[in-house]
Amino acid sequence: MRQETVTTESTLKTAFSDYWSRIKVGDIGSLPAVLGLVVLCIVFSIMQSSFLTPGNFANLLTQAAAVIVIAMGLIFVLLLGEIDLSAGYASGVCAAVLVISITNHNFPWWVALVISVIVGIALGLFIGWLVAFLGIPSFVVTLATFLAFQGLLLLLAGEGGTIQLQDKTILAIENSNLKPLVSWAFFLVCAVLYVISGVRRMAARRKVGLKVELMKLWVLKTVGLLALCAGAVYALNLERSNNPQLVSLKGTPYVVPLILLILVIGTFVLNRTAFGRHLYAVGGNAEAARRAGINVKWVRISAFIICSGMSAIAGLIFASRQNSVSPTTGGSSTLLYAVGAAVIGGTSLFGGKGKMRDAILGGLVVAVIDNGMGLLGYAAGIKYIVTGLVLLVSASVDAISRKGSGS
Amino acid sequence: MTQPILSLRNINKSFGPVHVLRGVDFDVYPGEVTALVGDNGAGKSTLIKCIAGIYTAESGDYHFEGNKVQVHGPRDATALGIEIVYQDLALCDNLDIVHNMFLGRENKRGVTLDEAAMELMARKTLDSLSVRTVKSIRQTVSSLSGGQRQTVAIARAVLWNNKVVVLDEPTAALGVSQTEQVLHLVRRLADSGIGVVLISHNLNDVFQVADNIAALYLGQMAAQVRKSDVTTNQVIELITTGKSADITPVGAK
């Protein structure tokens, strides 16, 4: 502790120089995603006035939601240095199961949801078992299941068929909003909980005499984050209907609290539980993890289970957004956007590095490109090329920073 | 002389037709550094793996703290309090020092990790080894030098109150000053009462820290002697020819 007291007296200046030296050795985290997001938003706002409107902002969130949730699940798999190429179609299959259970079999929405999540878990168990016990590279396994799930979805939906969904609760997730007052109340509750958990963590560390994060820096970060969120709630509470007399459209879409809930649970699991720690360990050095007595196979299987289980939640969002399920649900660019979101957000493809929030930051970058270029009237081809290039840039940043840190 | 904490008698081990260990006797004393030397292929690694329980010897006795024990797997050895620090260290580069030291044996409070308690214990262990070289124990292992990594791996072995710590060539990949640091650490480890086994090719290192020296030659224990009784040349003779004039093995005392 003697030496520690010297460093506890750090100032904002030393904190920033620490951060800067971390960036220099390649530990850049989410910085590129944040910068990219800011730059993209500025560029699109200048080029197209309809980009920076409350309506488009809400639209952006609901557009990005499903991809973000798939990316959140993928992060568990990417942390191990594995990949799940079939997560997109897994969400399609789960969406089909959900919609069929409701529309064709008249199950209540929550029973249907439980069934679809169980199907997702079963798909993940199957993939994880093949990877962990048979030792087939996950790339190959999930390439096979990618094709197989696509076929399964086609069979479930029927040739060229679209199954409609009429359940109000499920449709509400992407199409209805928390009332403005409820939105503010929700924000306040989240903010208070966030501050309390931060203060309690610091108090616990100070009590036993451990080095505590610089108070000024913490306050700065917390105020910044909360201000940003408050701004978002304010924007979402603005009227975004073209004809407010006829139908009013304002408030936070229900999907936002859903994603926040997944973010909180996922972050808790990764940072605060032994299981999360073991995920990072297996991704960093599987042999070291095995020698430390960690059940590496079980960790691998559970990562794939979580990934496919999250795909089922994404399937729910897809079904809600499309009011139906079709053979293309969760297909085409979904998976690539999700992988792109995770990597752009700062999750490493080499394993061992990544956070839940990466999915949200990266998912927003992908959605902003998609949305902004769409508004500017670019063809789909150009959008794909630009998104591909952004993914390539992020992957290069990942690879180069890995070299920089010498690991 | 004190009782050996770990004592192997007449250990035999073969792989198919190759008789790797032939009637090896080996003693480790608490509070002492026992250097295990020998040329490539002499059987050092095999002997270590027999101690660790990774291999089971075909015949021979395994005594720990004076009692005869059966070691059938790595778990048995760990349960006795024997920890091996392998040359590759088995650290996770992406985790910090505390995480690595507690990997697989995390302190928990309910379902959550008890980070504060782990950090305190890690700090205490590093302090007890007088480790001053690491700036923050919350930095990732990827940012550490080779010597610091070795320090973390050794500290992890100490953290769990182990009675015997086996170090497999801890200085092989290190520069001069880092070698010096690690050797000091090895000495302090022994001074704290742990029985330390040091495998090394470098006789300078061996003579600097070891209390007694065991030389393997073609699967046989050429001799286990007190360091004070031998010269470097005699040890080299033992390593290369398996015998040396005027050597009195420890057992004969």
DSSP label at B140?
A: B
Q: Which of A25, A289, A292 sits opposite B143 (nearest CB)?
A: A25
Query: Which of B142, B159, B168 is the mutation pick for testing A, counting most A CBs within 10 A?
Result: B142
- Give the whole-angstrom CA distance, residue A355 versus residue A81: 14
The answer to whether residues A281 and A292 touch, using CB atoms and an 8 Å cutoff, is yes
State residue B166's pLDDT score.
Answer: 92
Structure tokens at A275: 């299981």
Lowest-confidence range among A102-116, A356-370, B64-78? B64-78
pLDDT of residue B1: 57
Q: Chain A residues with CB inside 8 Å of B159's CB?
A: none
Residue keyed to tokens 């690879």: A399
Predicted pLDDT of residue A258: 94
Least CA distance to A201: which residue of chain B?
Answer: B116
| Partner residue facing B94 (CB), from A3, A274, A284 | A284
Model pLDDT, residue A10: 59
Phi, psi of A108 (to 5 degrees): -60, 155
Give the pLDDT band (50/70/90) at residue A74.
very high
pLDDT tens per residue, range B115-124? 888 998 898 8
CA A126 to chain centre: 23
Residue B249, pLDDT score: 53
Asked if pLDDT for residue A192 goes beyond 90, the answer is yes
Q: What is the mean pLDDT of residues A161-176?
A: 88
Q: For residues B216 and B218, what is the distance between their CA atoms, to the nearest angstrom? A: 7
pLDDT at A4 over 50: no
Task: Dump pLDDT digits (tens) for A295-330.
Answer: 999 999 999 999 999 999 999 999 999 998 988 888
B91 near A CB under 8 A: yes
Mean pLDDT of A110-126: 95
Confidence of residue A3 (pLDDT cuts 50, 70, 90): very low
- Look up residue B22 and give its two tokens: 């032939």
Q: What is the ipTM of this complex?
A: 0.83
Give me the amino acid identity at B193: G
- Point out the residue among B90, B112, B132 whose CB comes nearest to the CB of A291: B90
What residues are paired with B215 via a beta bridge?
A: B37, B223
**pLDDT tens digits for range B170-191:** 888 788 888 888 898 899 889 8
Lowest mean pLDDT among A264-268, B74-78, B184-188, B213-217: B74-78
Residue B251 binned pLDDT confidence (cut-offs 50, 70, 90): very low
pLDDT digit string, tens, across residues B206-225: 999 999 999 999 888 888 88
Domains of chain B: 6-252 (3.40.50.300)
Strands, E, within B191-237: which ranges?
195-199, 212-217, 220-226
From the CA atom positions of chain B, what is the Rg in Å? 18
Q: With 50 as the cut, is the pLDDT of residue A364 above it?
A: yes
Measured CA distances, B35 to A171, A265, A288, B202, B230 (Å): 72, 50, 25, 10, 13
Which residues neighbour A231 within 8 Å (Cβ) at sequence distance 6 or greater?
none
Planar angle of CA B88, B92, B95, nearest 5 degrees? 150
Rounded to whole angstroms, the Cα distance separating B6 from B197 reads 10
Name which of A213-217, A288-292, A343-347, B192-196 the model is least confident about. A213-217
Mean pLDDT for chain A overall? 88
Query: pTM, whole model, 2 decimals?
Result: 0.87
- The shares of helix, strand and coil residues in chain A, as percent rounded to the nearest 5, are 75, 0, 25
